[in-house]
Amino acid sequence: MPTLVGIFDQPGPVAETVRRLRGRGFRELQLYSPAPFPELDDALDERPSRVRWWTLIGGLTGVTAGYAMTIWMSYDWPLVVGGKPYASIPPYTIIAFELTILLGGLATLLGLLAVGKLPRVKADPAYSPRFSAEEFGLVVRCGERDVAEVDALLRAHAAKEVNLVEG
Amino acid sequence: MTPPPPPPASVAAMIRPMPAPADSRANRDILAVMGRPTIGYVALLALVVSTVGWALGTFVYQTYVGLGVAGYSHPIFWGVYIVTFVFWVGIAHAGTLISAILYLFRAKWRNAINRSAEAMTVFAVATAGLFPLIHLGRVFKFYWLLPYPNQRALWVNFKSPLLWDVFAISTYATISIVFFYVGLVPDLAIARDRATGWRKVLYSILALGWQGTTKQWKAHNRTVLHLSGLATPLVLSVHSVVSWDFASSIVPGWHATIFAPYFVAGAIFSGFAMVLTVMIPVRRIYGLERYITDYHFENMSRFILLTSLIVGYAYATEYFVAWYSGVEPERTAFWLRAFGSYWISTWIMISCNAFFPQVFWFKRARTHIPTVFVVSVLVNIGMWFERYVIIVGSLSREYNPAVWGQYTPSWVELSILAGSFAWFSMFFLIFLKLFPVIAINEVKELEIHERAHANGGAH
Amino acid sequence: MPEIDRREFLKLVGASAGAAAAAGCSEPVEKLIPYVIQPEEITPGIPVYYASTCQECPAGCGLLVKTREGRPIKLEGNPSHPINRGSLCARGQAAIGRTYHPDRYPGPQRRNQAGQLEPVSWDEAIRLLARKVQEAGPGTWLLSGEPGPTAGRWIDRWLTAVGAGGRVVHEPFAPEAVREATSAVFGVASEPLFDLSDTDLVLDFASDFLEIGPSPVEHGRQLAAARDVAAARGRTARLVSVGPRLSMTASNADEWVSARPGSEGLLALAVARAALDAGAGSPEARQALAGLLEHFAPERVAGQTGVDAATIVRLGRAAARARHAVALPPGVSVTARRAKASAAAVLLLNHLLGAVGRSVRIPPAPAEGRRRPSYRETLALVDAMKSSKVKLLLVADANPLYSLPVASGFAAALEKVPFVVSFASAADETSARAHLILPDHTPLESWGDAAPRLGVRSLLQPTVRPLHDTRAFVDTLLDVGRAMGSEVAAKLPPGSFRNLLEEAWADTDWRTALAGGGVFEGASPAPSLPLTPGATRLEVAEPLLEGDGEWVLLPVTSGLLYDGRGANLPWLQEVPDPVTKVAWQSWAEISHATAGRLGVELGDVLAVETPAGRLEVPAFPRGGIRDDVIGVPIGQGHTVGRYASDAEHGRPDAPRGVNVIQVLPAATDEAGGRAWLAARARVQKTGRFQRVAVVQTSQNQRKRRLGEAVSLAALAAGDAHAPAANGHGEAAAETHGDGHEHELLKPYDAAKDSAPDSPYRWGMAIDLDRCTSCNACVVACYVENNVPVVGETRTLQARQMSWLRLERWVGDGDLEGGRKLPIGAKEAPGAVDVRHTPQLCQHCGAAPCEPVCPVLATYHTPEGLNGMIYNRCVGTRYCSNNCPYKVRRFSYFDYSRENWPGLLSLMLNPDVTVRGQGVMEKCTFCVQRIAAARHTATLEGRTIRDGEVTTACAQACPTQAITFGNLKDEKSRVVQASHDPVRSYHALHELNTRPAITYLAKVKRGVFEEEA
């Protein structure tokens, strides 16, 4: 299946092109950009990233673990210190808080890897170091007979060049 | 625009490799920092490494002979080690603040410095984390501070502020590393695409095969957002917890409710100062003026001015409350802090932290780089002495005048103090050669946008 | 001294076990294999006690020697002994160290041609000495301390048998002047016995009776009893101390009368005159003394004594008013050339006040022939030595080279003696110069007896097999005699000294006496003696002093180092002086005025010059000393001994501190007794500075009420706020008027108890009105709990390890900023307001140290103890930071390795952990004793009884200032003591740490006022 790569200089036109292509029913799109751009975020997929669920679950685990650990350990071998109750919630809240942050953060990292399909060993055939410079790459996989149309459409939207690469 | 080609005979026949035009300037400039080390660099690295070695030696000596080789004398049982611990924890706050809080506030000027600041955070925590162990009477039992299952079925005391420290500091270390790394991944991809040899291998592994697809960027944004959301309360909590080591005790001069905000402000204060102290020479040496502009330094100077005011206010409050409380030990502690045997340290602290930064009221000073540099160094000194005054000064004048004490650091402590600076510098020097010192992708984000506006929305 | 290895250790244990088994009955038996045959009496883990007698000073307190597995590990007072009744002073507590001391001679040694000491066998040594004695004949002289009666008798027999010249008894602190005075006034040559228990006024003429003499433990106890406010609120005894400086004794007085040193006699007579005018005394006494007292009107004496007439009159009237007043004669440091007259004057005062026969008992003179200490004879011997009349000098239990003034020329004389033999068990200055050393046992290894006073016969018995190749002094003499041939041997008894001792005690039940520590009869009746005709013919006048210096050189007596014999016991060096709180060093006390004139501050080295010599010593300015006096303590300046000399700094031959005796003239009083106060000194600033090892940073408590005091009036009113009478309302108001209000003790509240079903909650009550800061508790704590001694260098770094320290507070203190001086200017003549606060772990109910420990190394036990688990401690030291009392210590180094050199490690208490490097430690309320008591109680199926267990400090305390017990037992003594509505308080109670220790405020009795 042919794969066309349109090279752009600006994020704006890219977003526009993507909208057109999807309007024309092209679904197999991939978009490389040298930096994050809000205008591109929802171009391919409107749904918010699923990373947030990871954070939430991580955080909840942390807070529960924090309180559970501190309180259980206090009663596992109860000792009086400074005439305070065996389990003193105020200080334990600090531990719980820190664990919330810790597990929340680690879970978020895992979320990034899972959602971003990282780590990956092999690079896409369509990927080029240019995209880690300052150019945008819009990859369209289409049927042979659509090549010309896509090519034209890309050029029409300020793709400074269009390359046909190995699919 | 090239004319449309004739209808293809065979698509496969038309496949040809993508041309690779010249690299972007941002990439070239910033990756250039990672180039061949100069003689000066190597010499400096050698110096710091040997200093670290010396400090390590003295530490081994101290561990073998006993803490008596340090300057401790009853009742002053916390000294240079804890002072230095708090100092470095403070330094560690700038990075997260710049990355997380300014991120949440969408302060774009942070982009030029957040990478190096985050790096400093990681290294500063790595430095600070050593000191609670170095100061232990029996360092070889340090793992007893962790709640691990053991035969004695003996757990740790979660009521102890030191335990809070264990959790806060380790959490902070972990999260700052995560933050640092997450931000680094796209730039590692850039480096990967341009590196050769062992660096190629290294960056390929570290970059995790990042390609900058929008899906990845989206997840990345979300991750950075959440991490910022988590790191912001964390950074506030860490120095609060550290301050509670003191505030939750009953020592006159420690037992003050103002400590948490006071310490956090002080931490940001010293952290920014350290970033300036380090980045001004780096910018100069590696010619990064295009990315780290005076405008950045001016903004940081503003921050230093602000936090300096907060810190100064905290000093004033401490003295006022001590006087107004009418509690004699409190009053005496603070009186002797200013006019007793530790008066020099106290006045160094007040002048460096509360007075000198006031020059930043003037734009001339804020934009005059040498001035900014000097002030930043003074602030670092002042903040070290602040902790010295709080810890040693208070311990030496407690409730029982029969055992008021006097403490002077020993050569062992000073060696290890020097070692800590070397240790920090060592990591930073290596960082300069290994990772992009500026967050390239964020710089580009700005640049590309600016260009868009420049050619007035050609589309 | 090399570390002792396992094999050696086992030998000693086995051997000493054998000895202990045999101790009661026969000669030590040789057993070198430990416990193959279990010795009877010994159960591993169970201590065995042997009664004995303390040899540290002539007071002769009874001991119980606590031995474990055959090793003495602690000395405790013998409760049935009439002199100390179960208490023991600091010196007695430290005496345990003599047996294990690294300075001990391993065996007999002789000096070879090269002048080096080399080991020699006992037989050889004895034969050598026998030959020497034969050669020397009447040129043989024995210079010794005062031996026990039996030993003394046989020593004299031996001297005659071998045809020796004779012997001289040398006791530097012997109260010869008092003895002579007594014979002059009452015609009996004996030292009067003073009983303070039933007095209501004690006039102390610089006698230092709480520190050194005549019987500090006993007098401490009696004074406490007489002053006990609980027993006799209204009529609690008052102590008025006359003297040139605010000594430890004076610090415990109610009034300090700062008189010229040496003028005590004059003052005594003037007071007597005032008392006479106030109508004191029986008609006969008045009539007898009227003539003499003519010449001593207060106004006339005022100038000479430096005390204004009004004060003298006031004291006289008080003495006249008092029911039972007693006056104590001048002590060592003020015995001047007219010491006999001064002492006589004080005795006459007692006579007038009717104290003689009641509080002052004059025992009959000791049996003829019993040699008493005599300085005159000592000097005579020195002259004989100079003129080479002495061919052979035997020195036993004496260190004349240190304790005799250089001016006496003893050192030079010693050179003239061809052969000097020392019987010292440990190295000292004199034995280091001897040609032959025949080491004696230490008291804990010896047989012996003592007759400290009429009606008290006390026994010494060995509690361990001699650790070294030593031999009892008398046995050595007997062997020498026997070696001198049959005709000498015939004059000597068969058997050993032990047999002689048993014979001497034949009139008693030997086993009972041995078990009980001796035979104690009740106080024999001492009739009030008439004055001798010449009694009132006194040459009382100002002291004659050599030199034209501006200051009177006052040799200050130290309750710790005594005459210097304490200097090689590490604990007595480590424990600071009770007044200046200086440890390990010498200092010169001068007044602030003097300091101002010389332009010196604390630590500036002064050059003190008398006709007899010159010494350099750092200045210690304070308010509590006269402007015309400079005081230098006796006891330091030794050049031999691991702890006594400066060996710590690698200079074993250099002196530690200065020996003030070296600059004293060899002066005597009218009767030939030793005159210590004999020189004026020129004092100059040298410009050098020496850090003074002051253990207590400041004696100004800044109104923080660590050491509280209430006035008598407040006490009577039953309320601490009451405006105090006799002019001290202000002081009393200060005590509680600084915004705080006096908090009544919160009694133990069961509802708040974390372990309600635990039968015990241990607590303590400390009565500051009884504490005299004698340091007995401190040394007891060191020995009981294996507390390391750190030495001078680390003392200067404030790294002392003491679990219990005595804090000396001058008044309520003021809010002056960081003053350099440890003692502010607050010490002044007149009413004394010094409080001594034993400071130890308060075992707080809400202990600040506990919650901050990250690893739970310190926590609260169900019995209310603040537990410290060394094994768990990682050494964050946070607990100490958070302890407001600052009673936690940190082991900076591995003390277990370095602080008990040689055999000293054998005296470690096996029940107490020796703390490792890097952990915190602190007072445990002697938890090991509690555990032992609980063990017994459990076996007998009951709970621990009140008084069954007590801490080492409480046990040692001569004045019973410390009460330990169970706070949950309403009837316990500690609860009774704690519930004083006025005096009880918690240190720093505003911090709400809820301590288990309740202090009872000191009572300020104030000065006597003119009645309207």
C976 in Cβ contact with C968 (< 8 Å): no
How many angstroms separate the CA of residue B209 from the nearest CA in chain A? 5
Task: Output the pTM of the full model.
Answer: 0.93
Other CB atoms closer than 10 Å to residue C949's CB: what's the count? 24
How many angstroms separate the CA of residue C988 from the nearest CA in chain B? 8
Q: Count B/C contacts: CB-CB distance under 8 Å.
A: 170
Considering only alpha carbons, which residue of chain B is nearest residue A151? B4
Considering only alpha carbons, which residue of chain B is nearest residue C859? B157
Other CB atoms closer than 10 Å to residue C871's CB: what's the count? 10
C32 in Cβ contact with C10 (< 8 Å): no
C747/B contact by beta carbon, under 8 A: no
ipTM above 0.95, yes or no: no
What sections of C145-215 are H helices per DSSP? 149-161, 176-186
Q: Residue C519 carries which side chain, given as an amino acid letter? A: V
**Contact at CB, A41 and B218, closer than 8 angstroms:** yes
**Contact at CB, A81 and C846, closer than 8 angstroms:** no
Residues 6+ apart with CB under 8 A from C137: C163, C164, C391
Give C802's contacts in chain B (Cβ within 8 Å).
none
Distance from the Cα of residue B241 to its chain's centroid: 17
**Contact at CB, A105 and B227, closer than 8 angstroms:** yes
Cis omega (within 30 of 0) on the bond before B21? no
Which stretch of DSSP H or E encloses residue C805? Answer: strand C805-810
Give C754's contacts in chain A (Cβ within 8 Å).
80, 83
**Contact at CB, B400 and C703, closer than 8 angstroms:** no
- Subunits with 3+ Cβ pairs within 8 Å of B are A, C
Please, what is the angle between helix B80-91 and helix B411-434, to 10°? 20
How many angstroms separate the CA of residue C980 from the nearest CA in chain B? 25
Other CB atoms closer than 10 Å to residue C730's CB: what's the count? 11
What are the structure tokens assigned to B327, written together?
């509690």
Q: Residue A57 carries which side chain, given as an amino acid letter? A: I
Which stretch of DSSP H or E encloses residue B80? Answer: helix B80-91
Q: How many residues does chain C have?
A: 1012
The CA-based angle C338-C341-C347, given to 5 degrees, is 145
Give C818's contacts in chain B (Cβ within 8 Å).
336, 340-341, 397, 404
Q: Count A/C contacts: CB-CB distance under 8 Å.
A: 31
Q: What is the pLDDT of residues A37-82, one digit of tens each?
A: 888 888 887 788 889 999 999 999 999 999 999 999 999 999 999 8
CA distances from B422 to B123, B129, B410 (A): 11, 15, 19
The secondary structure of chain B in percent helix, strand, coil, rounded to multiples of 5, reads 75, 0, 25
Query: What is the Cα gyration radius of chain A?
Result: 25
**B residues 248-287 lying closer than 8 A (beta carbon) to C:** 248-251
How many angstroms separate the CA of residue B12 from the nearest CA in chain A? 8
B212/C contact by beta carbon, under 8 A: no
**φ, ψ for residue C112, nearest 5 deg:** -90, -175
Q: Which residue ranges of chain C lie beneath pLDDT 70?
A: 1-39, 231-234, 523-526, 719-750, 752, 817-820, 825, 1010-1012
B407/C contact by beta carbon, under 8 A: no
pLDDT at C37: 63
Q: What is the pLDDT of residues C487-542, one digit of tens each?
A: 999 999 999 999 999 999 999 999 999 999 999 987 666 677 889 988 888 888 88
What are the structure tokens assigned to C913, written together?
């952990």
C737/B contact by beta carbon, under 8 A: no
pLDDT at C1: 44
User: Which SS3 state, helix, strand or coil, does residue A95 take?
Assistant: helix
**C residues 550-609 lying closer than 8 A (beta carbon) to B:** none
Work out the burial of residue C370: count CB atoms within 10 Å of its CB; fewer than 13 is exposed, 13-18 middle, 19 or more buried. Answer: middle
Measured between alpha carbons, how far is C609 from C630 in angstroms, rounded to an integer? 11
Sign of CA dihedral B406, B410, B413, B414: positive
The CA-based angle B397-B399-B401, given to 5 degrees, is 65
Nearest CA among C326, C245, C255, C252 for reference residue C774:
C252
Q: Which residue ranges of chain B lie beneath pLDDT 50?
A: 1, 457-459
pLDDT at B227: 94
How many angstroms separate the CA of residue C867 from the nearest CA in chain A? 10
What are the structure tokens assigned to C74, written together?
């602690």
Q: How many residues does chain B have?
A: 459
Measured between alpha carbons, how far is C700 from B402 in angstroms, rounded to an integer? 8
B187 in Cβ contact with A126 (< 8 Å): no
Measured between alpha carbons, how far is B180 from B201 in angstroms, rounded to an integer? 20
How many angstroms separate the CA of residue C696 from the nearest CA in chain B? 5
How many angstroms separate the CA of residue C926 from the nearest CA in chain B? 23
Mutate to test the interface with A, among B1, B144, B194, B223 (most CBs of A within 10 A): B223
The CA-based angle C985-C991-C995, given to 5 degrees, is 50
Sign of CA dihedral C663, C668, C673, C676: negative
**Contact at CB, C882 and B251, closer than 8 angstroms:** yes
The CA-based angle B414-B420-B424, given to 5 degrees, is 155
Strands C117-119 and C109-111: antiparallel
Measured between alpha carbons, how far is A41 from A19 in angstroms, rounded to an integer? 12
DSSP string, B14-54: H--PPP--PPPHHHHHHHHTTSPPPHHHHHHHHHHHHHHHH
**φ, ψ for residue C598, nearest 5 deg:** -80, -10
pLDDT at A41: 81
C225 in Cβ contact with C388 (< 8 Å): no
What mean pLDDT is predicted for residues A108-120? 92
Measured between alpha carbons, how far is C559 from C772 in angstroms, rounded to an integer? 12
Mutate to test the interface with C, among B159, B399, B410 (most CBs of C within 10 A): B399
C212 in Cβ contact with C57 (< 8 Å): yes
SS (H, E, C) C524-538: CCCCCCCCCHHHHCC
CA distances from C456 to B27, C82, C213, C690 (A): 102, 8, 18, 47
Measured between alpha carbons, how far is C514 from C510 in angstroms, rounded to an integer? 6
CB-CB: which of A13, A123, A134 is closest to B211?
A: A123
**φ, ψ for residue C100, nearest 5 deg:** -100, 15
CA distances from C814 to B371, C823, C837, C1000 (A): 47, 12, 18, 22
Measured between alpha carbons, how far is C184 from C534 in angstroms, rounded to an integer? 7
Give A44's contacts in chain B (Cβ within 8 Å).
214-215
